[in-house]
Structure 1
Amino acid sequence: MSLTAAAASASPTLPQGIDADHLAVIARQAIVNDKREVFGYELFDRSTARDAHTAASDAALLFNALSYAGAEALVGQKTVFINCTQESLAGGHLELIHPDKVVLEVATLEEGATQADIESRLQIFQGLRERGFRLAFDQHVLRRAYASWLPMAAFIKLDLQTFALKDAGVLVKFARTHTNARIVAEKVETAEQFEHMRELGVHYFQGFWFAKPDLVRAQTIRPSQATVLQLINLVRHQASTADIEELLKKDPTLSFNLLRFINSSGFGLSCEITSFRHAVMILGLKKLFRWAALLMTTSRAGGSPPAVGQTAVVRGRLMELLAAELLPPEEADNAFVVGVFSLLDVMLGVPLAKAVETVALPQPVVDALLHGKGVFAPFLELTKACESGDDDAFARNANALHLTNHQVNWAHLQALAWAESLSEV
């Protein structure tokens, strides 16, 4: 059976009468050990014609691969390697992925990066490691400027196309002396390269000499925004599992997406979940809300342009990141809701006050959305200023919140990357 056919047979059956509205195309390339046994797979996005990966495509690839593409046929129980830009490392999509399954491949910074730029990434790396993610770096991490990154490395990948084979021994020795990382020789194209690196004690290999990337195509489906809004409403009310289960039973598209996600390799469960009640209990209300918010931004709105949902989640993510600098964690969650729901009137085609009535929201959230008042109002105004390029409003609200231009601009870049990833999933 071909890989594509195997993936199709392993994926859940589409509910009858539902048309797929998107196609995810994912390539995998094996990473093998010194006995040429498969250790893991690096995944590549082939859904678009772009050659270079971005924060958005990285995040979309990860969610597609582990939630939609018949992940058991795609990667089985093997380790998954995913390329990440610096921006995508802070993406909210990683909150929905089981870290034991994933190695995040992190590129070193562009030429001209300062030592302060390099050191500033350490907190993000440490946070990912504490959550259980493993990090892989390219050979440039062996440069003196990146010495502080070395303790963070679980893997170091040596690209055999970038240096002479006779110089490999120096790199391998240096990596072994200064790190505890496992070394992967990549872009291996000849038996000579394989044997030479194996003699140096390298245990992991990747390249065309072993296998070219295989393609897997997977269809995705989206429920209506109205249905997802009902789910968000139930979660915000902290509804019972029975009430949430009842909604899932009424909408096969919604339940299909939930079961497919929770049974993916990325979620990391050892047994298959077939009960809606069990799925809700396993996921928990906080992750269920995050998942539903993601679905809402990518679901059909019956007329509103896709860009509206993307803009809404940029606002939500930006407000969440900025609020996290100044407010308690639960308030940062509410900031996310303010941002996402600030365009609810456009997405649903009704006045904002009427739209807000359909969802149970804390009073400070309502105050910001409908009256421009309260703790979240300046955050919302600041996000709108970021969209419009209104320098005066930007400066006024940033100063009111005691946030620097650097803090706001960095958070905005992260929010843009995350929101774009959701629209491409």
Structure 2
Amino acid sequence: MSSSSEQDTPQTASPVLEPVDENLAIIARQAIVDEHRTVYGYELFDRSTASNAHTATSDAALLFNALSYAGTEALVGKKTMFINCTHDSLLGAHLELIHPEKVVLEVPPLPDDSTPAEIEGRIPTLQALRTRGFRLAFDQRALRRAYTGWLPLAAFIKLDLQAVKPEQAGPLISFISMHSRAMLIAEKVETAEQYELMRRLGVKLYQGYWFARPSLVKATTIRPAQASIIQLINLVRKQASTSEIEELLKKDPSLSFNLLRFINSSGFGLSCEVTSFRHAVMILGLNKLFRWAALLMTTSRGGGGAPPAVGQTAVVRGRLMELLAAELLPPEECDNAFVVGLFSLLDSMLGMPLEKALASVALPEPVMGALLHGTGVFAPFLELVKACESGDEAVFARTTDALQLSNRQVNWAHLQALTWAESLNV
């Protein structure tokens, strides 16, 4: 669902883009107001890079920037955040990092060529999000017959007044009231006549240029070195004590600063301010701390000047190895498989030989064997992952055969890993 901020209208010229500082987090917000023009919430759009000036990045990236950098107090205060999602990202672990009551997930319909079974197949995921406390928003395209099963799950339905003719509005609103308890939001409201029509029909929430144009919130980012983030991930993976993690945070001001800013953001949903590293670690817990660190790693440059793409490739490797290992190894080994993939590019990220990079972290012998000597249970998985990247068909065939994995299993896992990494990518 796009708002007026993403598409030009006949009355609106395209904005002139200023040069973008890569150290700035820039988020556009557009108010959603009630009939008294009191702000109910804000729809957010990432504008942090020139390439994303007209296309928002993933909802994971947007939420992460909003919580970690822009600061939700300055961005939305205590109001609700509306975030555009993709269906793949609805499965992302980044949603574990936010308080469900703070966010409305705007869910698009599936592509027009989707079958009824595919549309129905999304319902369990949407229902699970509802059960976790998230509110869902759909647009008027979800009023089509194939989406009847989605409507009871909607907390909001947006009517795009650039797509809905005035004579259609009444019947559509009657249909919504019969099949859903959702609140209606009239979006892309640009004239007093449109507002009056919607008000007479009982609509309570509005969004559009007639009420408020998008505004920008900018914040300077302070991104830790990847070496520190990798140390943190390593500590979390071996379930280190709170004291050990606290000691690392004390050594890296930028890492600890980002953590405290994130956990104290209103999107995290705490009722008290966290001022100590120990308190932050205890509240966040190891699982969420890992997710946060993984997100942070993809935003940061290595000490040796490695581009962010190297970090993302490492994340893809880790996730792909984890998924492939899950087919053949016990669950407890999947974490080690992730570490093998994640740390397999440490030399590129830190600008030093892999053996020297690994000397500073404590890793299990099977992990070290796979990384340094190509031996042990994880070695063929790493070889297969590298073959997926390079397109080496001979190695791909040999390793899939050795692991007794089908091409379909590997290709599906690779797609899932790429999707997961994209949901982390900022």
Calculate the TM-score normalised by the size of structure 2.
0.85
Question: Aligned-pair distance for 1:414?
Answer: 4.5
Q: Cα deviations across residues 304-341 of structure 1 (Å, max 9, x unaligned)?
A: 23321111112223334455566666544433322211
Partner of residue 120, structure 2: 119
Partner of residue 38, structure 2: 37
Hey, what's the Cα distance between the residues in 1 that align with 2:404 and 2:174? Answer: 50
Counterpart of 1:310 (choices 309, 312, 315) is: 312
Hey, what's the Cα distance between the residues in 2 that align with 1:171 and 1:224? Answer: 52
Worse-matched range after superposition: 368-377 or 137-146: 368-377
Hey, what's the Cα distance between the residues in 1 that align with 2:128 and 2:370? Answer: 31
Hey, what's the Cα distance between the residues in 1 that align with 2:274 and 2:140? Answer: 41
Q: Cα deviations across residues 330-366 of structure 1 (Å, max 9, x unaligned)?
A: 5444333222112122222334344334323344434
Partner of residue 17, structure 1: none
Hey, what's the Cα distance between the residues in 2 that align with 1:356 and 1:335? Answer: 16
Partner of residue 360, structure 2: 358
Q: Cα deviations across residues 8-48 of structure 1 (Å, max 9, x unaligned)?
A: xxxxxxxxxxxx96111111111112332211110011223
Hey, what's the Cα distance between the residues in 1 that align with 2:168 and 2:47? Answer: 33
Question: Aligned-pair distance for 1:295?
Answer: 2.6
Question: Aligned-pair distance for 1:398?
Answer: 5.5
* C-alpha contact 1:21 1:219 (8 A) present in aligned 2: no
Hey, what's the Cα distance between the residues in 2 that align with 1:127 and 1:115? Answer: 20
Hey, what's the Cα distance between the residues in 2 that align with 1:420 and 1:244? Answer: 27
CA 148–398 in structure 1, closer or farther in 2 if over 3 Å, else same = farther
Counterpart of 1:380 (choices 379, 382, 404) is: 382
* C-alpha contact 1:318 1:412 (8 A) present in aligned 2: yes
Percent sequence identity is 72
Hey, what's the Cα distance between the residues in 1 that align with 2:421 and 2:278? Answer: 29
Q: Which has the higher contact order (CA 8 A, sep 6+)?
A: 1
Partner of residue 88, structure 1: 89
* C-alpha contact 2:58 2:425 (8 A) present in aligned 1: no
CA 132–394 in structure 1, closer or farther in 2 if over 3 Å, else same = farther
CA 259–167 in structure 1, closer or farther in 2 if over 3 Å, else same = same
Partner of residue 135, structure 1: 136
CA RMSD of aligned residues (A): 2.7
Counterpart of 1:334 (choices 333, 336, 359) is: 336
1:69 aligns to 2:84 (yes or no): no
Unaligned runs of 5+ in 1: 1-19
Alignment of 1:229-308 (within 5 A): 229-301=230-302, 302-308=304-310
Calculate the TM-score normalised by the size of structure 1.
0.85
* C-alpha contact 1:159 1:186 (8 A) present in aligned 2: yes
1:79 aligns to 2:80 (yes or no): yes
SS at match of 2:26: strand
> Which amino acid is the alignment partner of residue 46 of structure 2?
D
Question: Aligned-pair distance for 1:161?
Answer: 0.6
> Which amino acid is the alignment partner of residue 172 of structure 1?
I
SS at match of 1:239: coil
Partner of residue 13, structure 2: none
SS at match of 2:219: strand
Unaligned runs of 5+ in 2: 1-20
